Amino acid sequence: VEANETQFKDPHIENLYKWLRDRHRPDKCERKPMETFVYWSSYHRLRIFGKNVFRCLENSDYGTHYQYLVPIDERPAVLKKIHDDPFSGHRGVDKNFEKLKLRFYWPNYRKDTANYILGCEICASIKAPKAYTRQPIVPIKAYKLFELITWDILGPLQVPDNFLVSWDVLVVGYCATLDIGRCLSCRGGSNVTPHSPRSPPRHI
């Protein structure tokens, strides 16, 4: 994105340019539209170079530099260049914003940067979510006897009395009012003993 007269297609920047050119800022400004109010509030940090308006930013790491005020129509192209460029590597919000603010400015530009990255399909496909949710434990519902059957296997387990290898197989059938469970304990592969579970199963 090059600095040129397309800035004046943005009515908020056009008003700001007139204030700076005439060296006179209005005494009062309504909060809406928001962008005009932001430019009015930061009037002392804005400068004209040639036919374009820049914002002066003082940074302890980079010193003083000037940010080009990006008109509304050009902002998607700027974000695309900063984030999607092959040399940018689809980085996160903080790194992209640090790169952006060295050259460009517009009101709420950090929020727009975050929203753009959240909507990036490439980032969403390769990056894990920041927050993980745990679903609540709820009962399994079935309305006919043995409509739903589940099973699980535990083993091999060491049995203290005869030191044989043991496997426990839990088979559960569900119905609307009753959970019917049978646990088959197989020790050493020689016998199978059925018994009922101590508590009704829950779905995790």
pLDDT in tens, 140-191: 777 777 777 777 776 666 666 655 556 666 666 666 555 444 444 444 444 4
Angle formed at CA 28 by CA 75 and CA 56, multiple of 5 degrees: 45
Closest CA to 92 of 122, 133, 58, 62: 122
Q: Is the peptide bond preceding residue 107 cis, with omega within 30 degrees of 0?
A: no
Arithmetic mean of pLDDT, 112-130: 83
Angle formed at CA 119 by CA 115 and CA 120, multiple of 5 degrees: 120
- Count of CB atoms situated within 10 Å of the CB of 180: 16
Confidence of residue 105 (pLDDT cuts 50, 70, 90): very high
3-state SS, residue 91: coil
Taking the domains of the chain in order of start, what are their residue ranges?
Answer: 5-126, 134-204
DSSP label at residue 155: E
Average pLDDT, the chain: 78
pLDDT of residue 168: 66
The alpha-helical segments, DSSP class H, found in 42-84 are 75-84
pLDDT of residue 51: 84
CB 39 within 8 A of CB 26: no
pLDDT of residue 163: 54
| Choice between 107 and 170, residue whose per-residue pLDDT is larger | 107
CB 19 within 8 A of CB 52: no
pTM for this predicted structure: 0.58
pLDDT of residue 137: 81
pLDDT of residue 129: 63
* pLDDT at residue 194 is higher than 70: no
User: CATH for 5-126, among 2.40.50.140, 3.40.50.300, 3.40.50.11740, 1.10.340.70?
Assistant: 1.10.340.70
